[in-house]
Amino acid sequence: MARDSSATKARLLDAAFSEFATHGIAGARIDRIAETAQANKRLIYVYYGNKEQLFDAVLQRALETGSESVPFDVDDLPGYAGAVFDHLVERPSLMRLVLWKQLERPGSTDTEAASYQGKIAAVRQAQEAGRIDAGMDAADVLTLVVALSQAWFGAVGGPAAGGTAPGSTAAGEAGADWAPARIARHRAAVVEAVRRITAPHRDGS
């Protein structure tokens, strides 16, 4: 029974992820989620409460998966930015989910805020130790690193917005939209930009 319950929850979360990423919170429909998951609609309310709480569960799982796949490395922020970029190349719908969250549910959850503050503290310690340039506030450094990692996916006409590159036949998926050379060029730009922002100035300038 427990195994069946876990499998049903996983199917519901997968279906809800796709539904929310496509339609946002307001446009998502519980009936479609249940149908896609091949589950009784009543179970959504039993397991997750209302639609907003289901969205929170979907977002929380996505963030946990991202943290596991791309652990934060304060001593290699360029590499971290590149890894986040790679993660989003493989999961462009994740960026759409984040954009919907920012639009319909602005602000941070307690879990998000705690994670962000922990990263800021790590950047500040690295600045104090001279491993990261201290010319900017630690919070600004982290914000820029994250923003650069996500920039191509949130850009107008980018894959997260459902745009396609010239000659593409599919919308919304970076793997279909971007040729490997284009992905590599964007990734290199992200990594180099973060390197320039964070590299300590050895000459005192």
The CATH code of the domain that includes 11 is 1.10.10.60
Let me know whether 7 and 107 are in one domain.
Answer: no
Q: How many CA atoms lie within 13 A of 34 on its CB side?
A: 14
Crossing angle of helices 2-27 and 30-37, rounded to 10° = 140
User: Helices in the chain by DSSP H: which ranges?
Assistant: 2-27, 30-37, 41-48, 51-69, 77-90, 92-104, 110-128, 138-154, 174-177, 180-198
- Residue 51: give the domain boundaries: 1-59
Neighbours of 159 (CB within 10 A): 28
pLDDT value for 199: 95
Asked if the structure places residue 2 within a domain, the reply is: yes
Q: What is the pLDDT of residue 184?
A: 93
14 vs 21: CA distance, rounded Å:
11
CATH of the domain at 142: 1.10.357.10
Residue 158 is predicted with a pLDDT of 62
The structure's pTM equals 0.82
The predicted pLDDT at position 5 comes to 85
Q: Are residues 55 and 77 in the same domain?
A: no
Joined together, the tokens standing for residue 85 give 């970029």
100 and 196 housed in the same domain: yes
Of 59, 81, 105, the one marking the end of a domain is: 59
Say if 64 falls within a structural domain: no
Is residue 98 included in any domain, yes or no? yes
Residue 149 lies in a domain: yes
Best CA proximity match to 197, nearest among 142, 126, 156:
142
In a shared domain, residues 169 and 102: yes
Q: Are residues 49 and 110 in the same domain?
A: no
Domain-embedded: residue 65:
no
- Domain check: are 51 and 85 in the same one? no
Q: Round the CA-based radius of gyration of the chain to a whole number and report it.
A: 19
Judge if 107 and 177 occupy the same domain: yes
What's the pLDDT at 123? 98
CA distances (Å), 36 to each of 16, 19, 31, 109, in order?
9, 9, 9, 28
Count of structural domains within the chain: 2
Residues of the chain with pLDDT under 70: 1-4, 156-177, 202-205
